[in-house]
């Protein structure tokens, strides 16, 4: 009996054994295939990064080599610098460096990209490269050579020793010491080199992009948690403050603020608000309640949003954008001064379409940008600015607006809202030069 049983089971177990070996082999092959593909992608990104940083150095040199009056070549050179820097940033993002401190180099490349783009898009015949910009380009030329040489050095070691990027990924993911990894050491050296560069004057257009909003930009006195509790109660028109809980954020930093939370038994979810510590200004509010069936239309929602803002001290606001998500209307409103739209003073309001309650507010742009401005008179007439439009553009409305240009400066424009190509657009024509400053497609 045992002999018959073994005669049956032995071939079956043998087949199972052979099958498991084959399955394991297949899994091993597929795993190796994935690892090889990932390694090839890492190697390609690294060698492309080294090549593009080297080309960036050469392009900066070419831009500096031509005559100071060669605005056309300056524009071409700066466009190439922007393109090469953007490619280098993309390749850095493809490498497994998330756990490796490489932020100084990434920020350096980002600022080069932004400077070259913003400079190349301006009219260099009227506003050529300044003396300070030439000095900066020379500094960037020297610095980029040093970064390029560092990367070429790492590249030489990678090729000579057949180093693998998969080992870098494992080393960064593990808690083991990574001091003996050549690639990691090389990238740390590059980032350390960049961090030791003297501070560069990038100019206002680039510096404004990296300027962080802090309490120093605000007016008013420093508020306590109890002050914020009272402000939250006033905002919600609540006589009882016992259900309002306030916590301080970023204590001891330049970004100090308070978060207020209101919880009551009849609420679906707690109401949340954020206030600045300096001045006690509301910068965010959310009431995530359940919203019923829609009963209000767009115009009614706009009226509710405007009235709400007026009641809470945001006067002279005008709706410039309307979107609807299910039963919530999301409106963007901007400030006005002397009949001019002030787009930097932007507020976003959410209106529940069941009863018109405001259930959300984002006001940080308004809080940090609101101030009395001296608005210049436009050099161009409305009729002259209108000539810059496409003849097929069907204008629905037109007025003056102050917007932020690509150089980060506030520019007075004529805003034309109209239709072309079966879509609605906003066109912003510079009120002094007649140049198109911005074009924005509007939601239907």
Q: Give the tens place of pLDDT for each residue, 102-117.
A: 778 888 888 888 888 8
- Residue 383's pLDDT band, with cuts at 50, 70 and 90, is very high
Q: Give the tens place of pLDDT for each residue, 394-411.
A: 999 999 999 988 777 889
Determine the pLDDT at residue 302: 93
In whole angstroms, give the CA distance from residue 233 to residue 371: 26
Q: Degrees (nearest 5) of the Cα angle 280, 281, 283?
A: 130
- Give the rounded percent of residues in the chain with a pLDDT score beyond 70: 83
| Paired sense of beta strands 340-352 and 394-404, if any | parallel
Determine the pLDDT at residue 1: 54
| Paired sense of beta strands 394-404 and 410-420, if any | antiparallel
- Answer with the residue of higher pLDDT: 163 or 381: 381
Q: What are the backbone angles phi and psi of residue 278, rounded to the nearest 5°?
A: -90, 115
Q: Are 154 and 181 in contact (CB under 8 A)?
A: no
Determine the pLDDT at residue 441: 86
Q: Give the tens place of pLDDT for each residue, 261-308.
A: 988 777 778 889 999 888 888 889 998 888 889 998 989 999 999 999
Q: Classify residue 210 by its DSSP letter.
A: G
- Greatest Cα pair distance, the chain, in angstroms, is 109
Per-residue pLDDT, averaged over 70-84, amounts to 87
Tokens of 411: 């520019």
Q: Degrees (nearest 5) of the Cα angle 298, 299, 301?
A: 65
Per-residue pLDDT, averaged over 199-213, amounts to 60
Q: Which residues contact 293 (CB under 8 A, 6 or more apart)?
A: 327, 354
- CA separation (Å) from 216 to 7, 268, 281, 282? 87, 37, 14, 16
Per-residue pLDDT, averaged over 185-191, amounts to 80
Is pLDDT at 22 greater than 60 in this prediction?
Answer: no
Q: Are 330 and 362 in contact (CB under 8 A)?
A: no
Lowest mean pLDDT among 160-164, 204-208, 418-422, 435-439: 204-208
In whole angstroms, give the CA distance from residue 428 to residue 406: 12
In whole angstroms, give the CA distance from residue 257 to residue 231: 13
- CA separation (Å) from 171 to 15, 93, 167, 416? 40, 18, 6, 56
Numbered ranges of CATH 3.30.310 in the chain: 225-369
Mean pLDDT of the chain: 82
**pTM score of the predicted model:** 0.66
Determine the pLDDT at residue 396: 93
Q: What are the backbone angles phi and psi of residue 363, rounded to the nearest 5°?
A: -125, 15
Residue with the two structure tokens 């949340």: 272
Residue 330 burial by Cβ neighbours in a 10 Å radius (0-12, 13-18, 19+): middle
Correct CATH for 225-369 of 3.40.1110, 3.30.310, 2.60.40, 3.40.50: 3.30.310
Is pLDDT at 322 greater than 80 in this prediction?
Answer: yes
- Give the rounded percent of residues in the chain with a pLDDT score beyond 90: 24
Q: Are 116 and 78 in contact (CB under 8 A)?
A: yes
Is pLDDT at 425 greater than 50 in this prediction?
Answer: yes
Sign of the four-CA dihedral 305, 308, 312, 313: positive
Q: Which of 107, 45, 52 is nearest to 83 (CA)?
A: 52
Residue 239 burial by Cβ neighbours in a 10 Å radius (0-12, 13-18, 19+): exposed
Determine the pLDDT at residue 442: 80
Q: Which of helix, strand or coil describes residue 254?
A: coil
Tokens of 89: 């940033």
Lowest mean pLDDT among 79-93, 118-132, 307-321: 118-132
Determine the pLDDT at residue 274: 92
In whole angstroms, give the CA distance from residue 127 to residue 104: 30
Q: Give the tens place of pLDDT for each residue, 207-256.
A: 555 556 556 667 778 889 899 999 998 888 887 788 889 898 877 666 78
Is pLDDT at 173 greater than 90 in this prediction?
Answer: no
Sign of the four-CA dihedral 369, 333, 307, 258: negative
Is pLDDT at 167 greater than 60 in this prediction?
Answer: yes
The alpha helices in 66-121, defined as continuous H runs, are 71-93, 103-120
């Amino acid at each position: 009996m045992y002999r018959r049983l073994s005669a049956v089971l032995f071939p079956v177990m043998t087949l199972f054994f052979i099958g498991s070996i084959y399955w394991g082999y297949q899994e091993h092959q597929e795993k190796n295939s994935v690892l090889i593909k990932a390694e090839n992608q890492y190697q390609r990104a690294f060698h492309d990064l080294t090549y593009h940083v080297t080309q960036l150095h050469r392009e900066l040199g070419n831009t500096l080599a031509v005559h100071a009056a060669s605005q056309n070549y300056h524009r071409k050179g700066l466009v190439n610098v922007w393109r090469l820097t953007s490619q280098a940033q993309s390749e850095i993002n493809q490498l497994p460096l998330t756990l490796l401190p490489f932020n100084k180099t990434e920020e350096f490349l980002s600022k080069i990209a932004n400077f070259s783009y913003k400079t190349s898009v301006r009219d260099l015949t009227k506003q050529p490269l300044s003396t300070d910009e030439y000095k900066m380009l020379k500094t960037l030329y020297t610095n980029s050579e040093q970064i390029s040489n560092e990367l070429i050095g790492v590249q030489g070691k990678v090729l000579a020793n057949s180093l693998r990027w998969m080992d870098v990924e494992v080393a960064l993911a593990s808690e083991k010491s990574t001091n003996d990894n050549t690639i990691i050491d090389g990238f740390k050296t590059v980032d350390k080199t960049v961090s030791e560069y003297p501070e560069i004057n990038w100019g206002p257009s680039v510096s404004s992009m990296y300027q962080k909003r802090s309490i120093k930009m605000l007016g008013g006195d420093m508020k306590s948690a109890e002050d914020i509790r009272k402000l939250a109660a006033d905002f919600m028109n609540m006589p009882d403050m016992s259900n309002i809980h306030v916590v301080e954020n970023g204590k001891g930093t330049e970004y100090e603020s308070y978060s207020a939370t209101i919880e009551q038994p009849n609420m679906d979810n707690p109401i949340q608000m954020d206030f600045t510590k300096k001045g006690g200004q509301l910068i965010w509010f959310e009431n995530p309640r359940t919203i019923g069936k829609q009963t209000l239309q767009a115009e009614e929602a706009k009226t509710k949003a405007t009235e709400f803002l007026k009641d809470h001290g945001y006067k002279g606001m005008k709706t410039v954008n309307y979107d609807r998500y299910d039963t919530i209307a999301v409106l963007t409103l901007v400030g006005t001064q002397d009949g001019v739209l002030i787009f930097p003073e932007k507020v976003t309001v959410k209106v529940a379409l069941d009863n018109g309650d405001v259930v959300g507010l984002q006001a940080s742009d308004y809080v940090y940008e609101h101030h009395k401005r001296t608005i210049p008179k436009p050099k161009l007439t409305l009729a002259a600015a209108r000539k810059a439009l496409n003849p097929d553009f069907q204008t629905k409305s037109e007025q003056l607006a102050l917007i932020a240009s690509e150089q980060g400066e506030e520019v007075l424009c004529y805003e034309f809202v109209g239709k072309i190509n079966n879509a609605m657009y906003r066109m912003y024509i510079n009120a002094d030069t007649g140049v198109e400053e911005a074009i924005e497609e509007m939601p239907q």
